Amino acid sequence: MNDSMTSLKPFALGHGGAETIQSSVGYVEQNLLRITYLVKGDIRTLKIPEKCSSHRVDRLWEHTCFEAFIRVDGGSSYYEFNFSPSSEWAAYWFGRYRDGRPLSDETWSPEIVVRCGLDRIELDAVVQLDRLPAIRPGAVLRMGLSAVIEANDGTLSYWALKHPAAKPDFHHPDSFVLELAFPSQGASKRLK
């Protein structure tokens, strides 16, 4: 896997104990996409959900959660994945902007690995692209990567590769700024 870290930007100042959040995307195998998030800062000031068994849970974005949005370049339908440090997850399909439904089948379950320290938390999530019917080998994908970070006092901060709207909106079409090839062999990526 040959991928490099890209910085997520906070929506506004006052982002609690998270100093920086970086992310990377790359292929583990042909259909396995690894998305990594690295939060640096005083982790003790952040509300990090405790580890539990991996299962689907809605509304993860109300607490510390990492998100990935994936669509085929030029398309209007897209997928949303939520990954919690608890190892809980959620997946959704949207036919167009914010018009979608949950993907509740456990076969959508990503593999989530979390590593924590006093000054960092790192989450790796592996998604099987061949389980996403709208995505085919050879497609050019557009991705938006984001995070919601909850401080111990309940304050939420919103991080993304790009904030194109006047308020945090990870679904905004202009937030899908990462371009990723999904060829039958290998992959390349480019941030626009």
Q: Tell me the mean pLDDT in the region 130-145.
A: 90
**Is residue 128 exposed (0-12), middle (13-18) or buried (19+ Cβ within 10 Å)?**
middle
- Percent of the chain at pLDDT > 70 equals 91
| pLDDT of residue 14 exceeding 90 | no
Q: Is residue 11 part of a domain?
A: yes
Residue 183: predicted pLDDT: 58
- Dump pLDDT digits (tens) for 66-99: 999 999 999 999 999 999 999 999 999 999 999 9
- Of 123, 145, 168, 120, residue with least CA distance to 17: 120
- Of 4, 44, 5, 2, residue with least CA distance to 21: 5
| pLDDT of residue 186 exceeding 90 | no
pTM here?
A: 0.92
| pLDDT of residue 1 exceeding 80 | no
Q: Is residue 1 part of a domain?
A: no
- Dump pLDDT digits (tens) for 140-166: 999 999 999 999 999 999 999 999 999
Domain that holds residue 58: 6-191
Give 50's pLDDT tier (boundaries 50, 70, 90): very high
Instruction: Please give the residue that has the higher pLDDT: either 183 or 77.
Output: 77
| pLDDT of residue 190 exceeding 50 | no
Give the C-alpha separation, 168 to 150, whole Å.
Answer: 15
Q: Is residue 58 part of a domain?
A: yes
- CATH code assigned at 147: 2.60.40.1190
- Dump pLDDT digits (tens) for 91-126: 999 999 999 999 988 778 899 999 999 999 999 999
| Count of structural domains, the chain | 1
Query: How many other C-beta atoms are found inside a 10 Å radius of the C-beta of residue 101?
Result: 9
